[in-house]
Amino acid sequence: MLNALYPVLGSNKLRESRDFYRALFDLRVSFENDWYISLATETEPHQQIAFVAHDHESVPTESRQLAAGFLVTLEVEDVDALWKRAQTLTLEPVLSIRDEAWGQRHFIVRDPNGVLVDVVQPIPPSAEFADAYAMTPPGTKSD
């Protein structure tokens, strides 16, 4: 049985990463030392993101690189509130807040590592999208 699932990003900006995710998402530090920082939500401690010094000995030599080339998605209850917070923090949007036909209101910013962070809130999909695609709600099995 899986107890938790979370990304650990190779970084050379551990403190900046910690501060970014704490400021934007109110994450708390669940563990911190000089080469590893783990953050979690206050109410769901298994919702985590972590950062490891990319050149630390615990990372296999061939994988000692900075995080790049992917998108971290964080689903939130109120994306508009987070959008306002991102603006207050003067974060440069990669994608300004908008509604998508597939049923998502979101915006994208970069974290201190350059990783894209997609902040999303589910909304009803457009009628055209809903009619064109069969969607299975999370937590249900599809055959």
- What is the chain's pLDDT, residue by residue, as a tens digit (143 residues)? 888 889 999 999 999 999 999 999 999 999 999 999 999 999 988 899 999 999 999 999 999 998 888 899 999 999 999 999 999 999 999 999 999 999 999 999 999 999 999 999 999 999 888 888 765 666 656 55
Looking at the DSSP bridge assignments, the partners of residue 93 are 109
Place of tokens 């306002």: 84
CB atoms inside a 10 Å sphere around CB 5: 8
CA distance 58 to 98: 40
User: Are the CB atoms for 68 and 115 separated by under 8 Å?
Assistant: yes
Place of tokens 């923090």: 89
Helix axes 79-88, 14-25, angle to 10 degrees: 130
What's the token pair of residue 1? 């049985």
Q: Where are the beta strands (DSSP E) in 3-130?
A: 8-11, 28-32, 36-40, 48-53, 71-75, 93-100, 104-110, 116-122
- pLDDT value for 135: 59
- pLDDT value for 96: 98
- Cut 0.75: pTM above it: yes
- pLDDT value for 40: 96
- pLDDT value for 10: 96
